[in-house]
Amino acid sequence: MKAKEDNRRKPLKIIHSSTPSRINDIGGWTDTWFSKEGKVLNMAVSPLVEVRIKVFESEKKKEERVFVRAQNYDESFLVNPEKPKYDKHPLLQGAINSLPIPKEFELYISLRSHVPAGSATGTSASVCVALLGALDSLTPQKNSLDEIVSLAHRVETEKLGLQSGIQDQISAAYGGICFIHMYSYPQAYINKLALDERNKKELNQRLCLVYLGKSHSSSALHEEVITFLEKRGSQFRMIQRLKNLAEQARDYLLVGDLNSFGDVMIQNNETQRSLHKGLISEEADSVILIAKKYKAAGWKVNGAGGKGGSLTILGNQEQHLRIEMLQDIDALSQGIRTIPVSLAPSGLQIWEET
CATH number of the domain where residue 268 is located: 3.30.70.890
**Mean pLDDT across 153-173:** 95
* 3-class secondary structure, 350: strand
**Is 118 found in the same domain as 229?**
no
CA 129 from centroid of its chain's CA atoms: 10
> For 3-56, what is the HEC assignment?
CCCCCCCCCCEEEEEEEEEEEEEECCCCCCCCCCCEEEEEEEEEEEEEEEEEEE
> pLDDT value at position 250?
98
Q: Are strands 66-70 and 105-113 parallel, antiparallel or unpaired?
A: parallel
> pLDDT value at position 317?
97
Instruction: Name which residue leads in pLDDT, 314 or 32.
Output: 314
**Mean pLDDT across 308-326:** 97
pTM of the entire structure? 0.94
- Decide if 5 is inside a domain: no
**Is 170 found in the same domain as 27?**
yes
pLDDT band at 4 (very low <50, low <70, confident <90, very high): low
pLDDT band at 1 (very low <50, low <70, confident <90, very high): very low
Domain count, the chain: 2
**Is 24 found in the same domain as 56?**
yes
At 75, phi and psi to the nearest 5?
A: -130, 145
- Decide if 2 is inside a domain: no
**Is 205 found in the same domain as 82?**
no
CA 250 from centroid of its chain's CA atoms: 19
Contact between 303 and 309 under an 8 Å Cβ cutoff? The reply is yes
Write out pLDDT tens, residues 232-273: 766 678 889 999 999 999 999 999 999 999 999 999 999 999
| Rg of the chain taking only CA atoms, in angstroms | 20
**Is 151 found in the same domain as 104?**
yes
**Is 129 found in the same domain as 217?**
no
**What span, in angstroms and rounded, lies between the C-alpha atoms of 354 and 11?**
8
Note down the domain range covering 257.
197-342
- CB neighbours of residue 186 within 10 Å: 18
